[in-house]
Each structure stands twice: as structure tokens, then as C-alpha cells.
Chain A
Amino acid sequence: MSSETNAQHQHDADHGSEEQAHGSFRGYMTGFVLSVFLTAIPFWLVMNNVLDNNQLTGFVIMGFAVVQIIVHMVYFLHMNGRAEGGWSLLALVFTLILVVIALAGSLWVMYHLNTNMMPVHDMKQMP
């Protein structure tokens, strides 16, 4: 058992990468406290209508979501450039590119489709 673990550590050392990071108590607590604030503030902004401007509130809470996703990736999923020799981060970056294309592309195309294909029904001019 112990010899097997030693062999694995030796093996990982050969590859120049560490055993999968399990994080530390400090890291998990940092991530948790940050997440609590990053969750509570958007809920507070929306529930109490603090900013009094829906569009501005929308952009602000989307900003909070992006920051919180990064916090989760770093402190809970232990994402960094060294994990698995950089392949995890590469897969993540590739996926994010596909996600941005799928989301932004769909919304962009369908928004213009809606605008251009909508029949003009001005009910005021109906007889």
C-alpha cells in the first residue's frame, strides 16, 4: 500500500506535476466566505431594488456571477495551470470558447430573427 503510494508520487514527480490538489482548510474557507458575499449581494440588489435601474442591476449581478464562478473554479475545483500538466486548464478554456460561441451566437441570431420576422401588427390602426 505505502510502496504503491510512494511509486505514484515518484511517478508524478517524474512528470513534473503534483498529485491532484485537495486544497487546504484555509483555501476552502476563503472560497466559502467569498461565495457567501458574492451570492448575498446579488440577491440583496434584486430583492430590495437597491440600484433602482433594472439594466444596471442586470449587468452588476452578471458580473458577480462571473466572479463567483472563477472563485469556485480556483478554491473548490482547484483549477490552475499546473493541474494535470495544464491539460485541465486547456480543456476548460476550449469549453469556455464553445460556451461563449453557443450562447452569444444563439442569442444574437435569434434576437435579430425575432426583430426582423415579427409581423407588424399595430393594433391602433385596426378598424
Chain B
Amino acid sequence: MASTITASQTGEAPVFYLKDEHPHPEGHSTPLGFWIYLMSDCLIFAVLFAIYGVLGTNYAAGPGPKDLFDLNLVALNTAMLLFSSITYGFAMLTMVQGRVAATQGWLAVTALFGLAFLGIELYEFHHLISIGATPQRSAFLSSFFVLVGTHWLHVTFGTIWLFTLMVQVARHGLITANRRRLMCLSMFWHFLDVIWIGVFTFVYLLGMLR
């Protein structure tokens, strides 16, 4: 305290903060920030899993998992998402090498697998609703549609983002900003695959065991 007073008396401006010693390049903190967003998204899914865990056995005398789920379809779906994960990994590897055409090719393959996943999910939802297993039928089906539907929406927006980045790469090439964006989508895409592991284990496989 005394030193501050003497400092101001001698006319020196007091230093309240340490100056940043070096400039940070644009976007250097984006990967960490995006990771923290993914962690908050993880909490959303944790809550939805908890809701499904609590309500998942309340069938209201309606159909249960054994009556509704087709594991062959779920296995096919899981394969689509797993293939899209590895092809996105190849896109990242070609991106590091700076090969624009190869990166675009792998991104296109990833988009096709993503669209296949979305289509199979839509087919399953349509089938369930057409046989009367709507979200209004029971608490089990409400929580099922909310959990799996939220994951479906995430993959949908991830696919839109993927097409947007393909246009960006086509127009501007693999510039630093586009590499950063592809890196973020890579984390998003692999994260959705991690969530799907939880979905097919807890919802589909454990559901068939009940």
C-alpha cells in the first residue's frame, strides 16, 4: 500500500497487469474453445441418457424395445458412422499433406456415409411412427425419440457443415483458416461417433436384453 502511494507520488504509473509478452496468432485458442463446447454438448447428452435411463422402462402397456428395434439395421447404421469416422481421418491426413483434391474426395466420401446414416435413421423413425410407436405413445418412446433424435440433429448439422467446408476449400484452398475449420469439424464428427457408442450400447443392445 505504502509503495503504491509513493509510486504515484513520484509520478510513475502503477502497473496493474502483466503485459502479454508475445502476440498470439489468430485462432490459436479455437481448438481448446471448441473442445470445451463439445464437453458442454456431452453434458446435454448425459442428461438425455439419464432421462432415458429413468424413463426407459415405462412402456405404458405399449411396445418395448424387443417389439420395435431391428438390430441388423442398427449394426448397419453403426458401420456407416464408423466408416465415416475413418474416412474423415483420411481427409485430415491428406489435408496435412496439402493435397486439396484428395481432401475433397475423402470429405465427399465422409458426407456420403453421413447421409447414409441419416437416411437409415429417418427410415427407422418413419417405420416406428407408422406402426403407432410415436413419441406420444409412452415415456419410453418419448425419451427414445428425444435422445436419438438429438443425435440425429447433430449429425445433420455436421453434414451441412461438411458441405459448407467443401465449398470453402474449393473456393479458397487449404488456407490456415480452412485447416482450422476442418480440425474443428473433425473433433465434432468423432465426438458424435463417441456419443453413438453410448446410444447403440445403452438404448439398442441393453434394450434388447430387457
Taking a contact as CB atoms under 8 Å apart, the answer to whether B194 and A11 are in contact is no
Cβ of A75 to closest chain B Cβ, rounded Å? 9
Partner of B96, one of A1, A4, A22, A64: A22
Interface string of B20-60 (1 = CB under 8 A from A): 00101100100110011001001100110111011000000
Q: Which of B31, B39, B43, B47 has the most CB of A within 10 A?
A: B39
Q: How far is it, in angstroms, between the C-alpha of A68 and the C-alpha of B197 when the chains are bound?
A: 8
Q: How far is it, in angstroms, between the C-alpha of A82 and the C-alpha of B206 when the chains are bound?
A: 36
Instruction: Decide yes or no whether B85 CB sits under 8 A from chain A.
Output: yes
The B contact surface, by secondary structure, is: helix
Nearest B residue to A98, CB-CB: B43
Q: Determine the chain B residues whose CB is within 8 A of the CB of A68 once the complex forms.
A: 197
Interface string of A46-85 (1 = CB under 8 A from B): 1100000010011001101100110011001100000010
Q: How far is it, in angstroms, between the C-alpha of A91 and the C-alpha of B36 when the chains are bound?
A: 7
Q: How far is it, in angstroms, between the C-alpha of A90 and the C-alpha of B32 when the chains are bound?
A: 11
A84 with B82: in contact, given A76-B193, A102-B43, A107-B50 (CB under 8 Å)? no
**Total A-B pairs in contact (CB under 8 Å)?**
126
Q: How far is it, in angstroms, between the C-alpha of A87 and the C-alpha of B31 when the chains are bound?
A: 11
Taking a contact as CB atoms under 8 Å apart, the answer to whether A110 and B54 are in contact is yes
Q: How far is it, in angstroms, between the C-alpha of A61 and the C-alpha of B71 when the chains are bound?
A: 14
Taking a contact as CB atoms under 8 Å apart, the answer to whether A42 and B86 are in contact is no
Q: Determine the chain A residues whose CB is within 8 A of the CB of B22 once the complex forms.
A: 11, 14
Q: Determine the chain B residues whose CB is within 8 A of the CB of A110 once the complex forms.
A: 54
Q: Determine the chain B residues whose CB is within 8 A of the CB of A98 once the complex forms.
A: 43, 46
Taking a contact as CB atoms under 8 Å apart, the answer to whether A84 and B28 are in contact is no
Q: Determine the chain A residues whose CB is within 8 A of the CB of B194 once the complex forms.
A: 69, 72-73, 77
Taking a contact as CB atoms under 8 Å apart, the answer to whether A20 and B31 are in contact is yes
Instruction: Decide yes or no whether B8 CB sits under 8 A from chain A.
Output: no
A84 with B93: in contact, given A76-B85, A95-B39 (CB under 8 Å)? no
Q: Determine the chain B residues whose CB is within 8 A of the CB of A35 once the complex forms.
A: 82, 85
Q: Determine the chain B residues whose CB is within 8 A of the CB of A65 once the complex forms.
A: 197-198, 201-202
Q: How far is it, in angstroms, between the C-alpha of A113 and the C-alpha of B187 when the chains are bound?
A: 39
A91 with B205: in contact, given A7-B25, A68-B197 (CB under 8 Å)? no
Q: How far is it, in angstroms, between the C-alpha of A39 and the C-alpha of B71 when the chains are bound?
A: 12
Taking a contact as CB atoms under 8 Å apart, the answer to whether A106 and B71 are in contact is no
Cβ of A122 to closest chain B Cβ, rounded Å? 19
Binding site for A on B (CB under 8 A): 22, 24-25, 28, 31-32, 35-36, 39, 42-43, 46-47, 49-51, 53-54, 71, 74-75, 78-79, 82, 85-86, 89-90, 92-93, 95-96, 176, 183, 187, 190-191, 193-194, 197-198, 200-202, 205-206, 208-210
Can you list 8 pairs linking A and B with CB atoms under 8 Å apart?
Answer: A7-B25, A29-B86, A35-B82, A46-B208, A68-B197, A69-B197, A73-B194, A106-B51
Binding site for B on A (CB under 8 A): 1, 4-5, 7-8, 11, 14, 20, 22-25, 28-29, 31-32, 35-36, 39, 42-43, 46-47, 54, 57-58, 61-62, 64-65, 68-69, 72-73, 76-77, 84, 87-88, 91-92, 94-95, 98-99, 102-103, 106-107, 110
